Each structure stands twice: as structure tokens, then as C-alpha cells.
Amino acid sequence: MTDENTPRDEDPGNESGFRAGRHALPDDAPPQTGPIPIVGGPPPVQSAELWKPPPGGRHEQQAADTSGSAGGWNAQGAAAPAGGATGAGATALAERPREEKKAKKARLSEGKSAERRLAYWLIAPAAIMMLLVTGYPIIYAFWLSLNKMSLSAPGEREFVWFSNYGAVLSDGYWWTAFSVTLGITVVSVIIEFVLGMAIALVMHRTIFGRGTIRTVVLIPYGIVTVAAAFSWYYAWTPGTGYLANLLPDGSAPLTEQWPSLAIIVLAEVWKTTPFMALLLLAGLALVPDDLLKAAQVDGAGAWTRLWRIILPLMKPAILVALLFRTLDAFRVFDNIYVLTRGSNSTYSVSMLGYDNLFKAFNLGVGSAISILIFLCVALIAFVFIKGFGTAAPGSDDEGR
């Protein structure tokens, strides 16, 4: 364990040390001053560094460290350590006589550094891909959002600082979209949770037909959202639909704001509750049966067992399910696009961003909306992850 930890703990210190060293090398640290000023940083870091294997392997690894941890900031990462590492490593090796320990460390980290090198080769394509397609565009979007730019006047661009944000935030459209989105998110996630919990309990407890019901429940998940949205659209179209015909004559729910919103929530809930139910079912499987039986023997009713035992034990699964669904619901687009196209003030923030680009051709304002949505999502995620603590998905400390 110590062997695994030591190199990792040193790295941040090392890295900055190297960088400082490299920049310092030409001017501030002429060769005659010896090795010590070359490597800035506290003594432990320095000596740890001296034990490292030959410069070749060391600097390669260092380069990989930097580029890997920063995603794909290769330009900086790959270039920085090259000179410094070699120089420092070489001088250091020549100076210090702690042969035994050095050799041991070197042998141990031979396999380690091979492992690391493999790891970086394996994650590099995915990391670079994710960075290029999300990291770069979001920065670019931020830049666009500071400019006055329109697709209808391609050549013209004016740097306007944050006035696009001012325009968006002082505009009624954004706040309508924001409240519509928030409303849809909150209402549909609550309904999904209650309904999903009920379905999860049915799936968990049912004795016969378990396979069938688990299979059937996946149907809404499998249906293309657009197809499902059309099913709801026609169901509520007066004359055509079986549901619209249940309403009093002359009512056209998709032409009014509140009924439209209710139908959007219905479509969202229908499509995504199974996903919620499956996540909750997985959490439910972790609740020990003995505990429930014991509680039952002690006279706890079904309701008490649910509130006092099942729900508390399922808390991690519940939080994950709620987080995923909340963020997903906040991006609602497909259902609205098909059901109302955003008419009668039923547009979500995603819909607003889309319309700003493809109807108003306004790149600057569209980008400002993009960034605002991104910030909203980041805020929601932050609040949830604070609630999670360490139980965030993918925190893989149980890995080994």
C-alpha cells in the first residue's frame, strides 16, 4: 500500500518542482550552483525524486502523468518535464550515494511505471475524445457568448463582454423557460420517484411473472422518445385520440399552457419511470430480507418497514437515481419538440437555446443561454454530490 501511495502523493509536488526547475534552469540556475537549487520544493519531495529510476523512464512517466491527469493538455504537459526531468534526474543520480534504497525503489516502480504507461495509453483516446468534443466547445461557447454575433450577418463580430447575459437574464423568455423547465423537472422527478418505487416494490416482491414484468417494464425505455411523444400527441389530439375523446367536447389540451405541461410531464414520466424503477430495484436488492422479517416479527407494519428500514438503507441508490433523473429532466427537449414545439409558453431552456440558434440565428445570445444551462446543471450536480458524500457513482474505492 505504501508503495502505491508514495509515488502518487509526490507527484503534484514533483510536477511543480520540475516546472519551476525547468523555467529556472537557463537563467537562475547555472550548472555550477549544483543540483539543489535546480529542483525547487521541500526536501522530502526532493529526496524522493532522487531515488527514482533512470531519467528516461522517469520523464516519460512524468509526461504521461501530466497529460493524463489534465485530460489532454498535452502541449503543456508533454513539453514541460522533458528538459527539467532529465537534467535534474541525471545530476541527482550522480550526486547521491544511497544506492541500495535507490535500486530497490527502481525495481519496484519498474512494473508500476509499465502499468501506468499502459493505463495512459488505454485512457488516452477516450479522454482526448471527451475533451475535444465537450471541453473545447464549452470554452468556445463561452467565448461566443461574450460576442455579438449572428448567423444572418456572418462577417460581423463585436466583443461585448457580458451584455448577452444581461440581455438573456433581463428577458422574460429565459425566466419563462427556466420556470417551465424547473417545474417539469421537479414535478416529473417526484412522480417518477413515487411511481418508480411502487413499480420496484412490485417487481421485487412479485412471486410469479417476475421475468415478464421486468421485461415489459423495459419497453418504455426502449421506445424512441420521438415515437412515444407522437403516441401521446395523437392520443390527446381532439377527434383522433382515445384520451382526448374522454375530455369534454371542444377541449384541445395541447393548445393551452397548463394542459400541455401536464401532458409533457406525463410523457416524460411514462418514458423514464422504468429506468428509475430499475435503479431503485437494484437498491432494493441490497436490503436484507432477514431485517425485514425481524421487523415484521417485532410488529412493524408494511408502512413502517418502508419508511424505517427500506428507504434509509436504499439512500445511496435513491440519490443516484434522483441525480440522474433530475439532470436528465432538466434537459427536456424531445417531448416538447414533438408535443408543442414550445408554443403557449411551454418551452424549456433547451428549447429556447435551440430556437435562438435556428430561428433567431443569434450565436452570441444562444451561447449565453448554453452557458447558463451548463451552470444550472453544474449547480444541481454540485448540490446532489454534496448530498452523496463519497457515494458518487464511479468512486471506485471498493475496486480492489
Partner 1 sequence: MNASGKSKAWWSIANILVILYALIPLLWIISLSFKPASSVTDGSFIPKEWTLDNYKSIFDTSAFTSALINSIGVGLITTLIAVILGTMAAYAVARLEFPGKKVLIGAALLIAMFPQISLVTPLFNIERRLGLFDTWPGLILPYITFALPLAIYTLSAFFREIPWELEKAAKMDGATPFQAFTKVIAPLAAPGVVTAAILVFIFAWNDLLLALSLTSTERAITAPVAIANFTGSSQFEEPTGSISAAAVVITIPIIIFVLFFQRRIVAGLTSGAVKG
CB of 110 to partner 1, least distance (A): 12
DSSP state of 131: I
Q: Which of residues 106-165 bind partner 1 (CB under 8 A)?
A: 112, 114-116, 118-120, 122-123, 125-127, 129-131, 133-134, 137-138, 140-141, 144
Q: Which of residues 310-349 bind partner 1 (CB under 8 A)?
A: 316-317, 319-321, 323-324, 327, 330-331, 333-334, 337-338, 349
Q: Indicate the Cα dihedral angle 50, 55, 57, 58, nearest 10°.
A: 40
Q: Answer yes or no whether residue 360 interacts with partner 1 by CB under 8 A.
A: no
Cα angle vertex 298, ends 297, 304, to 5°? Answer: 100
Q: For residues 299 and 218, is the Cβ–Cβ distance under 8 A?
A: no
CB of 95 to partner 1, least distance (A): 27
Q: Answer yes or no whether residue 291 interacts with partner 1 by CB under 8 A.
A: no
Q: Tell me which of 39, 45, 180, 228 binds partner 1, using CB under 8 A.
A: 228
> To 10 degrees, what angle do helices 172-205 and 363-388 make?
40
In single-letter form, the type of residue at position 330 comes to F
* Piece in contact with partner 1 (CB under 8 A), picked from 24-32, 158-166, 291-299, 373-381: 373-381
**Full DSSP string of 101-126:** HHHHHHHHHHHHHHHHHHHHHHHHHH
CB of 42 to partner 1, least distance (A): 19
Q: Answer yes or no whether residue 217 interacts with partner 1 by CB under 8 A.
A: yes
Q: Which is nearer to partner 1, 29 or 372 (CB)?
A: 372
Residue of 9, 34, 369 lying closest to 176 (CA atoms): 369
Rounded distance, CA 133 to CA 138, Å? 9
* Piece in contact with partner 1 (CB under 8 A), picked from 24-32, 50-58, 161-169, 232-240: 232-240
- Residue 373's CB is within 10 A of a number of other CB atoms, namely 20
Rounded distance, CA 263 to CA 116, Å? 52
Q: Which is nearer to partner 1, 95 or 115 (CB)?
A: 115
Q: Tell me which of 159, 162, 175, 234 binds partner 1, using CB under 8 A.
A: 234
Q: Which is nearer to partner 1, 194 or 216 (CB)?
A: 216
CB of 325 to partner 1, least distance (A): 11
Q: Tell me which of 221, 288, 304, 360 binds partner 1, using CB under 8 A.
A: 221
* 155: helix, strand or coil: strand
Sorted by sequence, the CB contacts under 8 Å of residue 195 that are 6+ apart come out as: 269, 273, 276, 277
Q: Which of residues 190-209 bind partner 1 (CB under 8 A)?
A: 199, 202-203, 205-207, 209
Q: Which is nearer to partner 1, 36 or 360 (CB)?
A: 360
Q: Answer yes or no whether residue 226 interacts with partner 1 by CB under 8 A.
A: yes
* Piece in contact with partner 1 (CB under 8 A), picked from 16-24, 50-58, 62-70, 93-101: 62-70
Q: Is 264 exposed, middle or buried (0-12, 13-18, 19+ CB in 10 A)?
A: buried
* Piece in contact with partner 1 (CB under 8 A), picked from 161-169, 220-228, 252-260, 290-298: 220-228
Q: Tell me which of 264, 279, 287, 310 binds partner 1, using CB under 8 A.
A: 279
CB of 36 to partner 1, least distance (A): 26
Q: Answer yes or no whether residue 353 interacts with partner 1 by CB under 8 A.
A: yes
- Segment holding 157, helix H or strand E: strand 153-159
* Piece in contact with partner 1 (CB under 8 A), picked from 16-24, 96-104, 167-175, 355-363: 355-363
Residue of 314, 329, 40, 72 lying closest to 180 (CA atoms): 329
Q: Which is nearer to partner 1, 55 or 238 (CB)?
A: 238
Q: What residues does 149 pair with on adjacent strands?
A: 157
Q: Answer yes or no whether residue 90 interacts with partner 1 by CB under 8 A.
A: no
Sorted by sequence, the CB contacts under 8 Å of residue 129 that are 6+ apart come out as: none
Phi-psi region of 361 (alpha: psi -120 to 50; beta: other; left: phi over 0): left
Residue of 398, 373, 386 lying closest to 181 (CA atoms): 373
DSSP state of 249: T
Q: Which is nearer to partner 1, 102 or 214 (CB)?
A: 214
CB of 344 to partner 1, least distance (A): 19
Q: Answer yes or no whether residue 245 interacts with partner 1 by CB under 8 A.
A: yes
